Amino acid sequence: MKSESEKKRKVLIGLGSNIGDRIENLRKAISFLDAEGVEIVKVSGLYETEPVETDEPQPPYLNAVAEIITNLPLTNLLDLLEEIERKLGRRSKGDKKPRTVDLDILWAEGEQLESERLKVPHPRLWERAFVLVPLSEIVDELDGKSVSKAAQNLANRKQIRKVAESQWFGEKKETKVI
C-alpha cells in the first residue's frame, strides 16, 4: 500500500516571469517539470499584469497556472521548483526583484502544509488576480469557493490582460498573442 506522500494527486502551480524572453522562460519551466516526470495536465492562457508589492519599478509579468499530477511530497516538489528557478537564472527567493521565473505551489489535493518554508494552500491565493484569473481556466471551485467569482471581483480592480491562449506552452512556435 502506498503512503500518503507516494500517492499521485493534483497540484496547482503558479508561474510568472518579468525579465528576458518571458514566454520562453515559462515554456522552459514547464518543460523541466515534464522532464522530471511531473505530469502536466492543463496550463492556462497567459496573462500580463503589473508587478505587485514591489519597492521599485519593474517590467510587467506574464502569469499562468498549471495543473500537474505528482507523487512528490510537497517539500520535494518545492525543491524541484526552486531548482528549476535557479536553472532559469533566478538568483534569490523571497525578494521582490524582477525574475526570469517564479514558481509557486498554490494548492494540493487533499493536503495542507504550514512550515517556515512552505504554506499550502498559498496564503495569498484568494487575494491575487494574477493567480485567480488564470486559475479560473483550470478549475471552477477550490475548497468550496468559486474561483471564477473571486477572479472576476479582483480582475475588475486590477489591470490584467490575456495575451495568449492555453496552447502557448507547447512546442516552440510563434505564440498567437491576442
By annotation, the residues acting in catalysis are: 90, 99, 102, 104
- Residue corresponding to grid cell 471581483: 153
Are residues 133 and 46 in contact, defined by beta-carbon separation less than 8 angstroms? no
State in Å, rounded, how far the first CA of the chain is from the last one.
Answer: 48
- With CA atoms as reference, report the closest residue to 160 among 23, 64, 57: 64
22-35 helix and 74-87 helix, angle to the nearest 10 degrees: 140
143: Cβ–Cβ under 8 A, 6 or more apart, which residues?
Answer: 107, 121
